[in-house]
Structure 1
Amino acid sequence: SAEALRRAGNEEFRRGQYGPAAALYTRALQQLEASGDAAAEERSVLLANRAACHLKDGACTLCVADCTSALELAPFGIKPLLRRAAAYEALERYPLAYVDYKTALQVDCSVQAAHDGVNRMTKALLERDGVNWRQKLPPIPTVPVSAQTRWSVPSARAPGANAPPATAPHGKPDQTAAGIERARTLKEEGNELVKKGNHKKAVEKYSESLKLNQECATYTNRALCYLTLKQYKEAAQDCTEALKLDPKNVKALYRRAQAFKELKDYKSSISDIKSLLKTEPKNTAALRLLQELNRA
């Protein structure tokens, strides 16, 4: 049944198997269509779940498409709004991300991920478009009161009831005190493994920690492991995540510059080192890397 396929998809997602999870959600959608039992609400949930898979896999355009379809079926769903906002943000379509984060806050003003998103987008748009950035925004839809209440009560059908918590990408997946404490323990276990030279195992620990609490230092630590393991794309991505949380983080800028250098993207590498040197003009490692890059 579609329900069984959805549950199986949730299970794969929990295990970090985003491709297989997306395939199961697709089969569930096809089954609903085929049986003519295409309840809008159920289809919307499956599309939002599949969008979460796309987002995890970095397929942002597909994520946007699924979220848009989910929102057409069930307007003002908080999860598709947040996922689409995150995808737009990753695609650097900041005005659209801003509108989705703002809309999500109208639906539920307690969503920390949306508050954080609005703050990041405000900063990015101010830097890019100057003080009049608001004039360039598309209109922000007004959320009817009915939608505000409808989505604030978690229903058994909502993906939140069955989906893993770590689906809001820049949100705080499991921000309970216990979750944060567990994340810290996992990070420290990762640090110990790095000292022993076991970078592969350390990556696993950092990944588990990040599911519970997205912290800048955990991203930069995992990036260091990826650099050692010669997984340069992953290293660069982790540094980018860290810089979203702390735009002037020296370790993130330095490690991303190292990753870009290995990926032969010298222009981006030099740009990161120059940003770093604005904060720490006498950073010897950065100055040395800049010399190497200028010779490259």
Structure 2
Amino acid sequence: MAPASRIADLRQAGNEQFRNGQYSQAATLYGRALELLEAAGDKNAEEKSVLYSNRAACYLKDGNCSLCIKDCSAALDLVPFGIKPLLRRAAAYEALERYQLAYVDYKTVLQIDCTVQAAHDGVNRMTKALLEKDGLQWRQKLPPIPSVPASAQRRWEPPPPGSQEASRSKAKDIAPVSKQAAATERANALKQEGNEFVKKGNYKKAIEKYTESLKLHKLECATYTNRALCYLNLKQYKEAIQDCSEALQIDPKSVKAFYRRAQAYKELKDYKSSKADINSLLRIEPENSAAKKLLQDLNKILK
């Protein structure tokens, strides 16, 4: 049997074992396929990357997080910015309580494809864990998050009209797109309801509406800054900081996010962080009078 055919058979057998819950056997089969690829001098990086990623999934299921991380890293060295190995490595880091590295991997996935719910959920869990572990300065302790090139980012593009792919996908694509549009519309309606409660001074009810909205549309900067305003009024400063930080991940030049986070830091007596945020804001809007006033107050305190 030719090596290529044997490798394909081993991979298929590994897939079957994995589906049957036989993770150790599946890992062994993927390992044999990798050995054959090496022996044959095969330079197919994509094939190797998939096999490493598949074996990593087996290790993750069996709780062998260190080997999972090793294989995911090998897969990503061969084919950078693969979503599956990034998610599997993030899960392994999370299981080992290496929350900073897990956060970086989850955030990298969202740069590639912002619709991956598992990555959104992972970022939320890691944010809470890191806030508890490292306090308000947790973001400053993060390793750098890789910048994903545009060529590796996934954007939904419909197939050309009249193509076979368009014909095949027409029936199944219409529903997901309309569902997404409906979810976005509902998210906007909930945000508006939240805004109305803010006008009435009912901040708790507004938070409920904003939270429901964010479940449907997580990449809405204004909803985070609006909810942060509510947290500020309720003296829940840590929550306000977290929401402003999320907003700044979406829009790094959000003036409201910088200002409200600065206010929250000031209330928590973290004056240096507050001043850093105001300085960032003033680089974006040098004539912002509210920011200038807050900066004057902070300078008096720091003296």
Normalised to the residue count of structure 1, the TM-score between the two structures is 0.50
- Whole-angstrom distance in 1 between the partners of 2:91 and 2:58: 13
* CA displacement, residues 252-293 of structure 1 (integer Å, 9 cap, x when unaligned): xxxxxxxxxxxxxxxxxxxxxxxxxxxxxxxxxxxxxxxxxx
- Whole-angstrom distance in 1 between the partners of 2:40 and 2:114: 38
Instruction: Label 1:113 to 1:25 Cα distance change in 2 as closer, same or farther (>3 A).
Output: same
* CA displacement, residues 190-219 of structure 1 (integer Å, 9 cap, x when unaligned): xxxxxxxxxxxxxxxxxxxxxxxxxxxxxx
Aligned residue among 100, 104, 117 for 1:95: 100
Instruction: Label 1:150 to 1:45 Cα distance change in 2 as closer, same or farther (>3 A).
Output: farther
- Whole-angstrom distance in 1 between the partners of 2:36 and 2:115: 35
- Whole-angstrom distance in 1 between the partners of 2:115 and 2:12: 28
Q: How does 1:56-205 map to 2 (within 5 A)?
A: 56-149=61-154
Are the aligned partners of 1:107 and 1:151 in contact in 2 as well (CA < 8 Å)? Answer: no
- Whole-angstrom distance in 2 between the partners of 1:49 and 1:71: 12
- Whole-angstrom distance in 1 between the partners of 2:156 and 2:20: 27
Higher relative contact order (CA 8 A, sep 6+): 1
Q: Which residue of 2 aligns with 1:35?
A: 40
Q: Which amino acid aligns with 1:137?
A: L
Q: How does 1:207-226 map to 2 (within 5 A)?
A: none
Unaligned runs of 5+ in 2: 1-5, 159-303
- Whole-angstrom distance in 1 between the partners of 2:19 and 2:92: 20
What's the offset of the Cα at 1:92?
A: 0.2
- Whole-angstrom distance in 2 between the partners of 1:136 and 1:151: 34
What's the offset of the Cα at 1:150?
A: 9.3
* CA displacement, residues 77-109 of structure 1 (integer Å, 9 cap, x when unaligned): 000000000000000000000000000111111
Q: How does 1:223-234 map to 2 (within 5 A)?
A: none
Moved over 6 A (4+): 150-153
- Whole-angstrom distance in 1 between the partners of 2:10 and 2:84: 20
- Whole-angstrom distance in 2 between the partners of 1:46 and 1:130: 39
- Whole-angstrom distance in 1 between the partners of 2:157 and 2:78: 18
Q: Which residue of 1 aligns with 2:20?
A: 15
* CA displacement, residues 118-167 of structure 1 (integer Å, 9 cap, x when unaligned): 000000000010011000000000000111149999xxxxxxxxxxxxxx
* CA displacement, residues 22-73 of structure 1 (integer Å, 9 cap, x when unaligned): 0000000011111112310000000000000000000000000000000000
Are the aligned partners of 1:77 and 1:151 in contact in 2 as well (CA < 8 Å)? Answer: no
Q: Which residue of 1 aligns with 2:272?
A: none
Q: Which amino acid aligns with 2:128?
A: K
SS of structure 1 residue aligned to 2:136:
coil
Is 1:46 aligned with 2:51?
A: yes
- Whole-angstrom distance in 2 between the partners of 1:85 and 1:125: 14
What number of residue pairs does the alignment pair up?
A: 153
Query: CA RMSD of the aligned region, Å?
Result: 1.7
Q: Which has the larger radius of gyration?
A: 2
Q: Which amino acid aligns with 1:68?
A: S
Normalised to the residue count of structure 2, the TM-score between the two structures is 0.49
